[in-house]
Structure 1
Amino acid sequence: MNRNEFLAALGISSASVILTTCLGCSKSSGGISPSDPPRNIDFTLDLTASANAALLTNGGYLTSNGVIVAKTSAGAYIAVQQSCTHESYPLNYQASSHQFYCNNHGATFSEDGSLSNGPASRSLTVYKTQLTGTSLRIYA
């Protein structure tokens, strides 16, 4: 193999590796993007566990299984997807403003998951909650 053949083979190999990597990371590759909400959600939080203590206080929240679970100022439990629908950054719950907030680009969502301020263009996926004694079930 001469020098030109070697360089051509090296270039084709490098290009194929780069192309494969780029296609694998593309949001339009047909797979689930990080901003897609988790599916088949069904889990239970034990409110007596120290890891879930934030949910004992109005305005407290935690994240679990790709979901933000919060206790509103009024004492109701709510659950939405954890990531912003704009670019998949994690959301925070702001009880005093009754909203979910993305620190990255400033998108806001109401407690019912609806979009209140962009740059996101769609609402959050909302999950059902059911309190039975000290067990809080979150499910789709």
Structure 2
Amino acid sequence: MNRRDFLNWIGVGFVASFLPVAIAACSDNEETTTATPGEFQAVATVTALNAEGHLLDESSPIGSISIVENPSNPEQFLAVNPTCTHNGCTVDWNSEAGKYVCPCHGAEYSPEGEVLKGPAMDSLPTYEVKVEGDEILARVI
């Protein structure tokens, strides 16, 4: 094999090694697919939320969403994106403590998504919620 052929093969190998990264960067990521601000989307029912006490839908029309009853006003619901702002893990709702807890590094968030305990520094993104009949509607703020 001569030098030119060798360098051509090295170049092809180099390009091929970055192909999976390029494909992944161009593919749709379910986590980032969200509705545009202003559009209310049906994400749950009041009946289901009352039965479960908490609802988590990682594939709702507006993206990953967690819905709980507002502790200070049981007639209202609060909704956040349950993706931890520290490391991207899905936070768990702890109904007894009334807060979200990250299973990866222990970050804690209020029902409104505000950071209560680090290592997270940023609050969870929130959704505006309204109820129409039995449907819970939410939209990106």
**Residue 119 (str. 1) matches residue 113 (str. 2):** no
- Write out per-residue CA displacement over residues 14-55 of structure 1, whole angstroms, 9 at most, x where no aligned residue: 2223345446768xxxxxx8876845263114527xxx72x0
Percent of residue pairs identical? 18
2:98 paired residue number: 98
Q: Distance in 2 between matches of 1:43 and 1:108?
A: 27
Deviation for aligned residue 1:90: 1.4
Please tell me the residue identity of whatever aligns with 1:92: D
Query: Structure 1 residues 46 and 124, CA, compared in 2 at 3 Å: closer, same or farther?
Result: closer
Which ranges in structure 1 are unaligned for 5 or more consecutive residues?
A: 27-32
Runs of at least 5 residues in structure 2 that lack an aligned partner in the other structure: none
Q: Aligned-pair RMSD on alpha carbons?
A: 3.2
TM-aligned CA distance change 1:7 to 1:121, over 3 Å:
farther
Q: Normalised by the size of structure 2, how large is the TM-score? A: 0.70
| Residues 43-76 of structure 1 deviation map (CA, whole Å, 9 limit, x = unaligned) | 114527xxx72x0147322225211122355633
Shift of 1:3: 4.7
Conserved 8 A contact 2:54-2:68: yes
Match of 1:69 among 38, 49, 67: 67
Tell me by how many angstroms 1:103 deviates: 1.0
TM-score, structure 1 length as denominator?
A: 0.71
Deviations 1:77-106 (A, max 9, x none): 110113111222212211222212221222
